[in-house]
Chains A and B, each alone.
Chain A
Amino acid sequence: MDILTSFIVIPFLTIAGLVFCKDHKQVKLTAAIGMGIQLILAAVLIILFLRERAAGNMAEMLFVKDLVWFPSLNIHYLIGVDGISVAMIGLTSIVIFAGIFASWEVVELPKEFFIFLILLSSGVFGFFISLDLFTLFLFYEIAVIPMYLLIGIWGTGPREYSAMKLTLMLMGGSALILVGLLGLYFNSNPSGGQLTFSLLAISKVHIPVEIQKFFFPFLFIGFGVLGALFPFHTWSPDGHASAPTAVSMLHAGVLMKLGGYGCFRVAVFLLPEAAHELGWIFIILTTISVIYGAFGAIWQKDLKYINAYSSVSHCGMVLFAILMFNKTAMTGAVLQMISHGIMTALFFALIGMIYGRTHTRYINEMGGLMKVMPFLGVAYVIGGLASLGLPGFSGFVAEMTIFVGAFQNVDAFHRVATIIAVSSIVVTAVYILRVVGILLLGKINNEHYEHLGDAKWYERLSTGVLIFGITAIGMAPLWLSEMINGGLGPIIQRLLMASPIH
């Protein structure tokens, strides 16, 4: 079995193992072991990948495997990775590993909870390795559907409403994606003959501009819904607020990245001319997302809402960077996906832990928590500082790469959009410091909180892994940035060829 397939097989083996577990403890252990193996595997994959590249294997995709799955429609099980997918797989395995430990204390139906959680993660892994548009879409759906059950059954607050809203909006998005994918499929062979879903094959084909312009909005908006593109982001605050901790982590940390990844792996990569022509509309929308999410977060009172709006802002930055169409900005986009993924997972994990102790998420009802739970408090401050882009943490690296990249576009439209996006760093600082100030600092305003305990070992492990991720990328970003940069070659080349200047 090749290494990539095992990323799908291991989750399913873990699920099979979970089915036979008898008690709570076994369930937790099985899930942790399964995802621990996945994490190790991801590390191995990164090392193997870097070694292959260092050995001079400059193929567009590595570890490619191609099996015919459904011959009459020419659907393949075609997998392979480049630097970007490897980075995303690394992100996913970190977040899911931390997520298992963050949900260590799920009491209600733990077995089913972990089964759905891991099913979801297998969908995500599958999505990142697929090079066939059909299997890509299949895995996308596998990742989205369990979310409904996870929120609807294990959520809090108005969970049915939120679960329904989230699922319906994402389903709406995937309906658009499906239209777009079929559009690609039926135009994948202009000279007649066998049609194909293969991403690599389509990327060699020139699709007429008019057709591109018709299908590009379907794909971009469809993936954009998942990437919280304004004005299709409203599932995110409600969905995150109701979701259980690990689900929020996985959802904001990884699932929203499916949107960004899809946007440029499918929409921009396969329809470059349309991207050039229609990009301006989406630049406006994403710029609004960036600044609007940040301002929206200032006024919120619920911790999860604050983080959800902050995610809208940060994910808007990802899509914004993709639309800048140059290597630096796109590297920044991927870095931002990874950085935001880990960071927001950390936030949601911490919010879950704090909520588990204080039983409220309203910041006005809390205060001075730094004194009673120093570990969680410090972790929250670290997350906050990373989020507002402090050097030494991953957010800085990502944002700076995006800004420098975006600034390479000389025309006034891009400049103005960039400067608006850059100014979000101040607004981010405002809402982060506001939360830190109210929540953690000051006096304890409720005597019940004085006897709350600090983090347990599994909580420390969960947050520790994520903090390690943030700081490791923040301190030594070069290897990651180079790895991503390598994967961007073909996309940039295609964009350059499509660019009206050439």
Chain B
Amino acid sequence: MFEGVPLNWFLITATLMFFIGIYGFLVRKNLITMLMSLELILNSVNINFVAFNKLLYPQHLEGMFFTVFIIAVAAAEASVAIAIIINIYRRLVNIDVENMNEMKN
């Protein structure tokens, strides 16, 4: 696919993305940003899947399928999450995660 590009580069990119995602998820208080960080984490995993698939079993496509699958699930999850966030916003007029410490409000 990308002849000459070593595997390590993919892995380093994915790791960077993963930790950027983790960092964002832990530090940011805004739900939207947190959701975006979550997407980053998922996508870093996707990159790993694709890279390893290419390296180990070039004749099979399971890694690719899995990636597509994850993208689909992530899309669904993002839509549900955004729906919830909008609802929270309507109720609390902000989407700061620290305000949400009670089940009932």
Complex A–B touching at CB under 8 A: no
Report A's interface with B, CB cutoff 8 A: none
Report B's interface with A, CB cutoff 8 A: none
